[in-house]
C-alpha cells in the first residue's frame, strides 16, 4: 500500500504514515507467522516421511516373517531338519500373494526333495505290512478293516 492511496481518500500525511506503519507492522507479524508455519510444515513432512519409511520397513519384515513361516509350515512333518531345509529355499524366487499363499514354494520343495532327499523323512507305504515280510512289501489289499487285517494275519500259510 502506498501513501498516495491513503491521501487520495482525504487523510493527512500523519494519518497516512500511522496507517502505513500499522499495516507494515501487521504484515511483518503475519510474514514471520507464515515463515514459522512453513518451518513447522517442513518438519512435519520430514516426520511423516520417516514414519512412512519405518512402516515400509515393517511391512517388509512382516512379509519376510510370513514367507519364512509358510516355508517352515510346508516343511514341517516331512523334513528331518526344518531349519536346514528352509535355509536351502531361495526366497528371492518366491512371491507372497495377498491371500497369504506363496507362489513357487511347492516347486522348490519338490526340487529340494529330489536333489537332497536325505533331508526328508521317507514316505510311508499305504496299507498294512505283512508280519515278518520285508519293510517294502505291503499286503495285497491297500485298505483293510481292522477285522480283515486280523483275519489275514491268523490265516493258515500267512508267514510261509
User: Could you read off the pLDDT of 50-69 as tens digits, one per residue?
Assistant: 999 999 999 999 988 988 98
CA separation for the pair 29, 78 (Å, rounded): 74
Q: Are strands 102-103 and 95-96 parallel, antiparallel or unpaired?
A: antiparallel
Question: Is the per-residue pLDDT at 74 higher than 60?
Answer: yes
CA separation for the pair 154, 147 (Å, rounded): 11
pTM over 0.85? The answer is no
DSSP tag of 117: G
User: Could you read off the pLDDT of 81-117 as tens digits, one per residue?
Assistant: 999 999 999 988 988 888 878 899 999 999 999 999 8
User: Could you read off the pLDDT of 22-50 as tens digits, one per residue?
Assistant: 999 999 999 999 999 999 999 999 999 99
Ordered by start, the domain boundaries in the chain are 3-123, 124-160
CA separation for the pair 57, 54 (Å, rounded): 5
Cell of 15: 494519518
Please tell me the predicted confidence (pLDDT) of residue 139. 47
Please tell me the predicted confidence (pLDDT) of residue 134. 46
Amino acid at each position: 500500500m502506498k501513501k498516495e492511496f491513503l491521501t487520495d481518500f482525504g487523510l493527512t500525511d500523519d494519518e497516512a504514515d500511522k496507517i502505513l506503519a500499522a499495516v507494515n507492522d501487521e504484515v511483518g507479524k503475519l510474514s514471520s507467522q507464515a515463515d514459522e508455519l512453513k518451518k513447522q510444515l517442513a518438519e512435519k513432512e520430514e516426520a511423516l516421511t520417516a514414519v512412512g519409511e519405518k512402516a515400509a520397513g515393517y511391512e517388509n519384515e512382516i512379509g519376510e516373517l510370513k514367507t519364512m513361516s509358510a516355508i517352515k509350515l510346508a516343511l514341517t512333518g516331512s523334513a528331518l531338519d526344518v531349519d536346514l531345509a528352509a535355509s536351502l529355499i531361495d526366497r528371492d524366487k518366491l512371491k507372497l500373494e495377498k491371500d497369504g499363499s506363496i507362489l513357487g514354494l511347492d516347486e522348490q520343495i519338490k526340487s529340494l526333495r529330489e536333489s537332497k532327499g536325505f533331508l526328508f523323512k521317507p514316505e510311508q507305504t499305504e496299507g498294512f505290512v505283512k508280519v515278518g515280510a520285508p519293510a517294502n512289501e505291503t499286503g495285497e489289499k491297500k485298505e483293510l478293516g481292522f477285522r480283515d487285517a486280523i483275519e489275514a494275519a491268523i490265516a493258515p500259510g500267512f508267514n510261509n
